[in-house]
């Protein structure tokens, strides 16, 4: 069934050339006589040769593969991010190896020292459970690393993030400008100083301040995990507590979609009685009922930038530069849930 693998040596013998010439052809070395090249290509085709990438990697000391560590692919934001990273990497000739951490601190740390780091040229790392206390773990890292997200700032690595505070400010102002004053927020993490939750809350409060609306703690609903289910639960709690509300800001889309679901269930009209805005602009927001206004975080740009920074650390001119922090652009996408 499985014949022994065809090697370059076989191709060389068949094409009556040296090993090196075959290698040159395979690697598109430019200076090869056309006749030689075609003879080699013929032999390759006839024998069905493909390079052994393990051998190539060993020799080159590089694998052309980068890791992407995300919490979970079943969270749409990360699935879409992975999609974008794979495309961006492909455009640069890199292959992406996805690792799921489950947003568990232990597993997030394990990824940093895992065996996979030895056959990956670098890592794009999107932690959800790590915090500033873990910066130490990052500084022992001796391979190219790009951080994504807002868990760790000023860490010993390149960092791509978005302007969370400004974006949350803009989202809140979007509601304020439409006459809303009792704006609930879903997804807060009490006592947390870093992370998307804290930053987005900051933007929310800043907008209220700016608009002269007093901050009311009763309007803040916690949600540890940012899933549809927790968003739904938080929304239900707010309604059950009979808090007066005319708008909801979900700190991510999943939360907002969960909230939307509960509002629909309870026959609360959106945006009539309560306007809703989310954050992330996942695909689904364009097809919910009603469609969800949200913050578009520039996912593609983030992915592209992360890959580029990593590539520069791997080989490029950025190899020894000080660590850089890139902040991606955002925009507000207005849909039905805040219309009118």
Partner DNA sequence: GTGAAAGCGCTAACAT
Partner DNA sequence: ATGTTAGCGCTTTCAC
Q: Which does 242 bind (CB under 5 to 8 A by kind): DNA, a copy of itself, none?
A: none
Closest distance between DNA and the C-beta of residue 10, in Å?
8
Q: Which does 20 bind (CB under 5 to 8 A by kind): a copy of itself, DNA, none?
A: DNA
Q: Which does 288 bind (CB under 5 to 8 A by kind): a copy of itself, DNA, none?
A: a copy of itself
SS3 content of the chain, % helix, strand, coil (to 5): 45, 15, 40
Q: Which does 98 bind (CB under 5 to 8 A by kind): a copy of itself, DNA, none?
A: a copy of itself
Nearer to DNA, 27 or 74 (CB): 27
Contact 66, 310 (CB under 8 A): yes
Q: Which does 9 bind (CB under 5 to 8 A by kind): a copy of itself, DNA, none?
A: DNA
Residue where the block lists tokens 């032999």: 43
How many Cβ atoms from other residues are within 10 Å of residue 11's Cβ? 25
Q: Any contact of residue 225 with DNA (CB under 7 A)?
A: no
Q: Any contact of residue 178 with DNA (CB under 7 A)?
A: no
Question: How would you classify the pairing of strands 331-333 and 294-296?
Answer: antiparallel
Part of the chain binding DNA (CB under 7 A), chosen from 23-31, 178-186, 286-294, 305-313: 23-31
Alpha helices of the chain — where are they, by DSSP H?
Answer: 8-15, 19-26, 34-47, 53-60, 76-91, 105-113, 135-139, 164-177, 195-211, 228-240, 253-265, 299-314
What CA–CA distance (Å, rounded) separates 65 from 124? 11
Q: Any contact of residue 289 with DNA (CB under 7 A)?
A: no
Structure-token pair, residue 165:
């505070």
Interaction mask 36-75, DNA, x per CB under 7 A: xx-----------x-xx--xx-xxxx--------------
Peptide bond into 290 cis (omega under 30): yes
CA geometry: angle 335, 287, 301, nearest 5 deg = 70
Residue where the block lists tokens 């206390």: 133
Measuring CA to CA, how many Å separate 292 from each of 174, 235, 248? 13, 16, 11
Nearer to DNA, 52 or 139 (CB): 52
Report the interface residues with a copy of itself, using CB under 8 A.
1-3, 50-55, 57-58, 63, 72-74, 76, 79-80, 82-83, 86-87, 95-98, 100, 113, 115-119, 142, 228-229, 232, 257-258, 260-261, 264-265, 283-284, 286-291, 320
Q: Which does 97 bind (CB under 5 to 8 A by kind): a copy of itself, DNA, none?
A: a copy of itself
The residues that touch DNA, with contacts defined as CB under 7 A, are: 4-5, 7-9, 16-21, 23-24, 26-27, 29, 31-33, 35-37, 49, 51-52, 55-56, 58-61
């Amino acid at each position: 069934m499985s014949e022994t693998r065809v090697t370059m040596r076989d191709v060389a013998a068949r094409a009556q050339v040296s090993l090196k010439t075959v290698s040159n052809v395979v690697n598109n070395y430019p200076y090869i006589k056309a006749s030689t090249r075609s003879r080699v290509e013929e032999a390759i085709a006839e024998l069905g040769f493909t390079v052994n990438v393990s051998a190539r990697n060993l020799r080159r000391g590089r694998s052309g593969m980068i890791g992407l560590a995300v919490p979970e692919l079943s969270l749409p934001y990360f699935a879409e991010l992975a999609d974008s990273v794979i495309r961006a990497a492909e455009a640069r000739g890199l292959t992406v190896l996805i690792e799921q951490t489950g947003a568990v601190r232990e597993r997030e740390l394990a990824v940093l020292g895992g065996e996979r780091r030895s056959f990956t040229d670098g890592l794009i790392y999107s932690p959800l459970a790590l915090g500033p206390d873990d910066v130490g773990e990052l500084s022992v890292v001796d391979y190219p690393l790009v951080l994504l997200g807002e868990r760790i700032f000023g860490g010993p690595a390149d960092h791509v993030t978005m302007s969370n505070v400004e974006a949350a400010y803009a989202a809140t102002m979007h509601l304020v400008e439409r006459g809303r004053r009792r704006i609930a927020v879903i997804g807060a993490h009490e006592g947390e100083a870093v992370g998307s939750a804290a930053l987005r809350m900051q933007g929310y409060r800043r907008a209220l301040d700016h608009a002269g609306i007093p901050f009311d703690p009763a309007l803040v609903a916690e949600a540890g995990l940012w899933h549809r289910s927790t968003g739904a639960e938080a929304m239900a709690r707010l309604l059950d507590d009979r808090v007066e509300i005319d708008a909801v800001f979900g700190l991510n889309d999943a939360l907002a979609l969960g909230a939307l679901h509960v509002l629909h269930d309870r026959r609360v009209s959106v945006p009539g009685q309560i306007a809703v805005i989310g954050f992330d602009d996942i695909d689904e927001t364009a097809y919910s009922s009603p469609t969800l206004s949200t913050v578009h975080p520039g996912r593609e740009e983030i992915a592209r930038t992360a890959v580029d920074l990593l590539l520069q650390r791997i080989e490029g001119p950025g190899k020894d530069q000080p660590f850089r922090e890139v902040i991606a652009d955002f925009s507000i996408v207005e849909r039905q849930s805040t219309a009118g």
